[in-house]
């Protein structure tokens, strides 16, 4: 039996058929880009360019603010026209750098040739430094700065590198296409990451609904024994970091504040591994990514290699535009993505796809009474009790929620997906989790 | 703008489960047992079932509309399930006016005053059945003979458990095949083990219920009666368990009554504890109590422990330190 994670999980229709056979296409260069200073978890970067500055592709335009932050580079060449507040996908104004494009002039240090460079003799420290310089963050959606992940804390030891090629989120196919079309670079990137954290074996986890990706990567690895391509049973949320570690190694990461490294594991997304290859071997910072644009009503779904800052609406137009009427445009997939009210939002580092729902799929079902069927408890991959947590959140019973391990929630949405009464369980659980985390932070600060 | 942009927090998709679908599946799973009853006891069974369901649905509609003043809830089919289960817990010759009173107790006393579906502490159909058993003991315990041709009328008028209580059962020669297929006295829903097991398989396949509660209940009854049988000696070690799972409401209770979502625990560990409790109490009543059958009482008693079980029995957390 194929491996999977130990508890819970659901089986949403994967709907990858819309875009899975579209080869990666390069999106036209935008004339103007807005580059948010916060595209990652942690402190926003600090702008180091000002209005009127000329920039080239790959030039650093914002610098990491402290350790838990990431550099940002110019995705196009041209003139900086503004560094100010612009609306994000939810219409909230955030600091962004606006660049008006002039041609496509690249930083000369970047190797733009297609030649595969497999050799890497850099010291681990130097690799991590290059990854940090390139502004690489987790591209699966969590946008955790990769150099932080690779800096193993004192006293901890990494034993295994896991490359996350699961892409359990329905609809999305950007990692899938990347594995198929950039497999060689992915494998080199994996070996560089192994070198960076000092491990001798890596596992690439891919779900059983992508057998061709498994076969392709296996063929590239060939007889080498350092990297194993592991097929996993298709089950959401297998791509969750803790679920993937458990599926591959059988080890369960304890409740927060424990981290994957506490069980000896470091997990990187498949597209991140390719970005690492480009950064370390080609001196290319993170300036573009593959974005899936998909949905049942999208005329021609595509996987588009897109420079950051390109407005989402340009991608949608490239795929045939929006149908008239009610729509829901989701940044990401339908299980964990965020619905957009502003489709002028720029594509960012964590944007793996744009999923478009139309008609009745845009609205939620009508909530009815909880029948205590326990389906949410059965579905929760963290072994929590969503029905209880949501009830406690409604009553603002924060202490009780903390005692019931609310901070372990990974917000995967399995509970709400499965609830026969259409109760917005995760809305309440999320609210409670944020409140409880705030309370815990305040308490720790007092100490 | 031609488009209206909808926003909401994730998830943006929903599975195919709904309360109505789950309840509908329970109704479908009960149909084989109902069909056997019609064949064994005649059309009267359908009249009782129809009255019971109609009354439960009507009473829920009225209470919801005029007393609770909330949106109509009868569409979720839970009143249909209550009505069907109530009917199947009655003798096939019960006067229809008693059925109406049963529906009043189930809906207007056991279910709606607590806040309707999801809020009641006790299984409404069972609360009604026990009320009727105490209020109308004569009508509730005079069972018609199974009339199907070709079946031996082994326990004319009495149930196997009633006969056992009176010391009339020869455990070496009771009619196992008859009890399995429906040729025994009793409430009309409980007579055919085969039909009930068919329903169980359907519920498992549709993932309406998990195996934990039924297996815990039946497993406990088997273990308990096997140990008791062993102390009595001889072949009773296997005859007693077989007799006790096939007789009375053991299977109907374990599969359809004890698994009622609202009144059973939320975790698998809790479900097993609850199931074992039901099995033990049932056997204690059957062997040493005043009543021949203890399933209804056992389930109702364990219903009352569910909030406590939910409070103390937690699922195994991911990453819990061993």
As a three-state string, the secondary structure of A392-434 is HHHCCCHHHHHHCCHHHCCCCCHHHHHCCCCCCHHHHHHHHHH
Domain count, chain B: 2
CA distances from A362 to A326, B5, B136, B184 (A): 7, 9, 54, 54
A258 and A311 part of one domain:
no
Range of the domain at A411: 375-446
- Report CB contact under 8 Å: B266, A246: no
Signed CA dihedral, A381, A387, A388, A392: sign only:
positive
B53 and B194 part of one domain:
no
B179 and B295 part of one domain:
yes
Tokens of A196: 């960076």
Q: Whole-angstrom Cα distance, residue A237 to residue B203?
A: 26
Other Cβ atoms closer than 10 A to A184: 15
pLDDT score at B155: 44
Q: Whole-angstrom Cα distance, residue A391 to residue A401?
A: 10
Interface check for B288 against chain A (CB to CB < 8 A): the answer is no
Domain count, chain A: 3
B33 and B119 part of one domain:
yes
- Report CB contact under 8 Å: A368, B5: no
Work out the angle at residue B293's Cα, subtended by the Cα atoms of residues B290 and B297, and round it to the nearest 5 degrees: 85
The residue with greater pLDDT, B165 or A374, is A374
Nearest to B316 among A324, A383, A404 (CB): A383
Interface with A, mutate which of B2, B13, B275 (most A CBs under 10 A): B13
Tokens of A298: 């999208």
pLDDT score at B284: 95
Restricting to B residues 72-101, those with a Cβ less than 8 Å away from any Cβ of A are 73, 76, 78
B167 and B301 part of one domain:
yes
- A76 within a domain of the structure (yes/no): no
CA distances from B11 to A164, A271, B7, B100, B275 (A): 21, 24, 11, 44, 34
Does the N-terminal peptide bond of residue A202 adopt cis geometry, omega within 30 degrees of 0?
Answer: no
Which residues, other chains included, contact A190 with Cβ-Cβ below 8 Å and sequence gap of 6+? Answer: A161, A163, A202, A204, A227, A273
- A78 within a domain of the structure (yes/no): no
CATH number of the CATH domain containing A252: 3.40.50.11540
Q: What's CA A59's distance to the chain center, in Å?
A: 23
Per CB-CB distance under 8 Å, the chain B contacts of A334 are: 10-13
Residues A44 and A71: beta-carbon distance below 8 Å: no
A300 and A185 part of one domain:
no
**Mean pLDDT within A78-90:** 95
Nearest to B317 among A332, A405, A420 (CB): A405
- A97 within a domain of the structure (yes/no): no
A350 and A410 part of one domain:
no
Q: Whole-angstrom Cα distance, residue A338 to residue B8?
A: 8
The DSSP letter of residue B108 is I
- Report CB contact under 8 Å: B117, A426: no
pLDDT score at B243: 87
Nearest to A369 among B8, B10, B117 (CB): B117
Listed in sequence order, the DSSP H helices in chain B are 19-41, 44-62, 78-88, 96-103, 124-135, 137-141, 160-165, 176-181, 193-205, 212-232, 236-246, 250-252, 268-288, 295-303, 306-312
Q: Which helix (H) or strand (E) holds A227?
A: strand A227-232
Tokens of A413: 């949405």
Residues A221 and A187: beta-carbon distance below 8 Å: yes
- A402 within a domain of the structure (yes/no): yes
Per CB-CB distance under 8 Å, the chain B contacts of A357 are: 6, 12
For A355, which residue in chain B has the nearest alpha carbon? B12
Which residues, other chains included, contact A191 with Cβ-Cβ below 8 Å and sequence gap of 6+? Answer: A118, A120, A202, A226, A227
pLDDT score at B147: 61
A272 and A393 part of one domain:
no
Interface check for A413 against chain B (CB to CB < 8 A): the answer is yes
Interface check for B119 against chain A (CB to CB < 8 A): the answer is yes
A160 and A223 part of one domain:
yes
- Report CB contact under 8 Å: A330, B12: yes
Nearest to A383 among B8, B15, B318 (CB): B318
Q: Whole-angstrom Cα distance, residue A144 to residue A146?
A: 6
Averages of pLDDT over each 10 residues, chain B, 322 residues:
84 94 96 91 92 97 90 90 95 93 96 91 96 92 67 52 70 71 78 92 96 97 92 80 88 96 96 97 92 92 97 94 64
- A335 within a domain of the structure (yes/no): yes
Restricting to A residues 370-389, those with a Cβ less than 8 Å away from any Cβ of B are 370-375, 377-378, 380-385, 387-388
Interface check for B1 against chain A (CB to CB < 8 A): the answer is no
Confidence of residue A35 (pLDDT cuts 50, 70, 90): very high
Range of the domain at B75: 19-140
Give tens-digit pLDDT for A269-305.
Answer: 999 999 999 999 999 999 999 999 999 889 999 999 9
For B317, which residue in chain A has the nearest alpha carbon? A383
Q: How far off is chain B from A54, nearest CA to CA, in Å?
A: 36
Restricting to B residues 169-208, those with a Cβ less than 8 Å away from any Cβ of A are none
What are φ and ψ of residue A35, in 5° steps?
-110, 105
B136 and B163 part of one domain:
no
- Report CB contact under 8 Å: B318, A417: no
Which residues, other chains included, contact B276 with Cβ-Cβ below 8 Å and sequence gap of 6+? Answer: B216, B217, B219, B220
A354 and A407 part of one domain:
no
Q: What's CA A322's distance to the chain center, in Å?
A: 25
Restricting to A residues 204-233, those with a Cβ less than 8 Å away from any Cβ of B are none
Nearest to B261 among A373, A384, A388 (CB): A373
A264 and A315 part of one domain:
no
Burial class (CB in 10 A: 0-12, 13-18, 19+), B235: exposed
Interface with A, mutate which of B317, B318, B320 (most A CBs under 10 A): B318
Interface with A, mutate which of B4, B10, B21 (most A CBs under 10 A): B10
Nearest CA to B35 out of B27, B45, B25 is that of: B45
- B5 within a domain of the structure (yes/no): no
- Report CB contact under 8 Å: B315, A384: yes
Burial class (CB in 10 A: 0-12, 13-18, 19+), B74: middle
B77 and B164 part of one domain:
no
> Left if phi > 0, otherwise alpha if psi is -120 to 50, otherwise beta: which for B186?
left
Q: For B216-229, give the DSSP string.
A: HHHHHHHHHHHHHH
Residues A378 and A128: beta-carbon distance below 8 Å: no
B171 and B114 part of one domain:
no
Work out the angle at residue A98's Cα, subtended by the Cα atoms of residues A95 and A103, and round it to the nearest 5 degrees: 155
Interface check for A334 against chain B (CB to CB < 8 A): the answer is yes
A220 and A353 part of one domain:
no
A270 and A396 part of one domain:
no
Token pair 């006969």: residue: B163
Structural domain ending residue among the three candidates B140, B175, B196: B140
Which residues, other chains included, contact B314 with Cβ-Cβ below 8 Å and sequence gap of 6+? Answer: A385, A404, B267
Signed CA dihedral, B175, B180, B183, B184: sign only:
positive
- Report CB contact under 8 Å: B118, A335: no
Nearest to B317 among A255, A340, A378 (CB): A255
B123 and B238 part of one domain:
no
Average predicted confidence (pLDDT) for chain A: 95
Nearest CA to A389 out of A431, A337, A437 is that of: A431
Other Cβ atoms closer than 10 A to A52: 9
B163 and B274 part of one domain:
yes
Confidence of residue A341 (pLDDT cuts 50, 70, 90): very high
- Report CB contact under 8 Å: B4, A7: no
Pairing type for strands A338-340 and A60-63 reads unpaired
Exposure letters A95-113 (e unless 16+ CB within 10 A, then b): bbbbbebeeeebbeebeee
Nearest to A374 among B15, B117, B266 (CB): B266
Percent of chain A at pLDDT > 90 equals 94
CATH number of the CATH domain containing A339: 3.10.20.90
- Tell me if residue A236 falls in helix, strand or coil: strand
A348 and A311 part of one domain:
yes
Interface check for B318 against chain A (CB to CB < 8 A): the answer is yes
Structural domain ending residue among the three candidates A282, A305, A334: A282
Token pair 């190694």: residue: A249
pLDDT score at B192: 87
Query: Could you tell me the pTM of the whole model?
Result: 0.92
For B270, which residue in chain A has the nearest alpha carbon? A374
**Mean pLDDT within A85-113:** 94
The most distant pair of C-alpha atoms in chain B lies apart, rounded to whole Å, by: 85
A292 and A277 part of one domain:
no
A134 and A155 part of one domain:
yes
Chain A with chain B: Cβ pairs closer than 8 A: 169
Q: Whole-angstrom Cα distance, residue A111 to residue B306?
A: 66
Other Cβ atoms closer than 10 A to A141: 21
- Report CB contact under 8 Å: B4, A325: yes
């Amino acid at each position: 039996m194929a491996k999977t994670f130990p508890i819970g999980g659901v089986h949403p229709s994967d709907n990858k058929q819309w875009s899975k056979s579209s080869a990666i296409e390069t999106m036209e260069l935008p004339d103007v880009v807005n580059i948010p200073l916060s595209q990652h978890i942690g402190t926003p970067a600090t702008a180091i360019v000002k209005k009127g500055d000329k920039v080239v592709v790959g030039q650093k335009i914002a610098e990491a603010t402290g350790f838990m932050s990431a550099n940002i580079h110019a995705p196009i060449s041209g003139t900086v026209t503004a560094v100010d507040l612009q609306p994000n996908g939810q219409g909230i104004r955030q600091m962004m750098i606006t660049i008006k494009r002039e041609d496509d002039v690249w930083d000369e240090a970047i190797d733009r040739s297609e030649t595969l460079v497999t050799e890497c003799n850099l010291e681990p420290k130097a690799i991590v430094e290059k990854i940090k310089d390139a502004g690489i963050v987790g591209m699966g959606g969590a946008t955790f700065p990769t150099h932080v992940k690779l800096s193993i804390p004192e006293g901890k030891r990494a034993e295994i590198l896991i490359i996350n090629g699961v892409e359990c989120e329905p609809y999305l196919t950007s990692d899938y296409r990347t594995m198929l079309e950039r497999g060689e670079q992915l494998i080199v990137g994996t070996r560089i990451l192994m070198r960076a954290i000092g491990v001798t074996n890596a596992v690439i986890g891919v779900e059983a609904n992508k057998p061709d990706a498994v076969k392709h990567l296996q063929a590239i690895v060939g007889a080498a024994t350092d990297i194993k391509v592991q097929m996993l049973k298709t089950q959401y949320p297998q791509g969750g970091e803790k679920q993937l570690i458990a599926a591959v190694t059988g080890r369960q990461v304890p409740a927060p504040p424990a981290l994957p490294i506490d069980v000896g594991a470091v997990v990187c997304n498949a597209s991140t591994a390719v970005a690492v290859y480009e950064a370390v071997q080609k001196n290319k910072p993170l300036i573009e990514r593959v974005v899936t644009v998909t949905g049942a009503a999208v005329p021609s779904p595509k996987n588009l290699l897109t420079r950051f800052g390109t407005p989402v609406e340009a991608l949608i137009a490239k795929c045939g535009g929006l149908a008239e009427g009610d729509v829901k445009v989701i940044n990401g997939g339908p299980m964990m993505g965020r619905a957009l009210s502003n489709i002028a939002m720029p594509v960012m580092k964590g944007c793996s796809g744009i999923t478009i729902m139309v008609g009745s799929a845009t609205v939620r079902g009508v909530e009815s009474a909880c029948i205590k069927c326990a389906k949410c408890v059965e579905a929760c991959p963290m072994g929590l009790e969503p029905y209880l947590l949501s009830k406690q959140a409604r009553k603002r019973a924060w202490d009780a929620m903390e005692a019931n391990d609310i901070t372990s929630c990974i917000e995967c949405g399995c509970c709400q997906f499965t609830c026969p009464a259409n109760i917005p369980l995760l809305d309440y659980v999320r609210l409670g989790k944020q409140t409880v985390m705030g309370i815990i932070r305040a308490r720790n600060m007092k100490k | 703008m031609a488009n209206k942009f909808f926003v909401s927090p994730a998830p943006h998709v929903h599975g195919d489960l709904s309360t109505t679908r789950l309840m509908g599946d329970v109704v479908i799973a009960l149909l084989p047992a109902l069909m056997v009853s019609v064949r064994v006891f005649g059309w009267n069974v359908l009249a009782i079932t129809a009255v019971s369901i109609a009354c439960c649905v009507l009473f829920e509609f009225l209470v919801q509309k005029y007393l609770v003043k909330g949106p109509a809830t009868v569409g979720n089919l839970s009143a249909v399930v209550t009505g069907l289960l109530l009917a199947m817990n009655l003798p096939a010759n019960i006067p229809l006016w008693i059925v109406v009173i049963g529906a009043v107790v189930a809906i207007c006393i056991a279910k709606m005053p607590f806040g309707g579906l999801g809020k009641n502490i006790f299984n409404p159909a069972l609360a009604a059945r026990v009320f009727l058993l105490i209020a109308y003991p004569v009508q509730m315990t005079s069972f018609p003979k199974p009339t199907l041709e070709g079946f031996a009328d082994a326990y004319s008028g009495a149930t196997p458990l009633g006969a056992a209580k009176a010391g009339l059962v020869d455990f070496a020669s009771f009619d196992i095949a008859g009890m399995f297929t429906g040729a025994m006295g009793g409430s009309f829903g409980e007579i055919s083990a085969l039909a009930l097991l068919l329903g169980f398989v359907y519920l498992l396949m549709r993932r309406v219920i998990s195996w934990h509660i039924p297996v815990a209940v039946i497993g406990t009854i088997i273990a308990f009666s096997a140990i008791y049988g062993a102390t009595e000696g001889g072949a009773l070690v296997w005859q007693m368990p077989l007799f006790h799972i096939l007789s009375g409401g053991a299977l109907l209770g374990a599969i359809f009554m004890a698994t009622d979502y609202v009144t059973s625990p939320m975790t698998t560990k809790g479900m097993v504890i609850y199931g074992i409790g039901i099995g033990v109490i049932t056997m204690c009543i059957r062997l040493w109590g005043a009543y021949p059958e203890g399933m209804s009482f056992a389930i109702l008693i364990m219903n009352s422990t569910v909030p406590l079980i939910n409070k103390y029995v937690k699922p195994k957390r991911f990453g819990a330190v061993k």
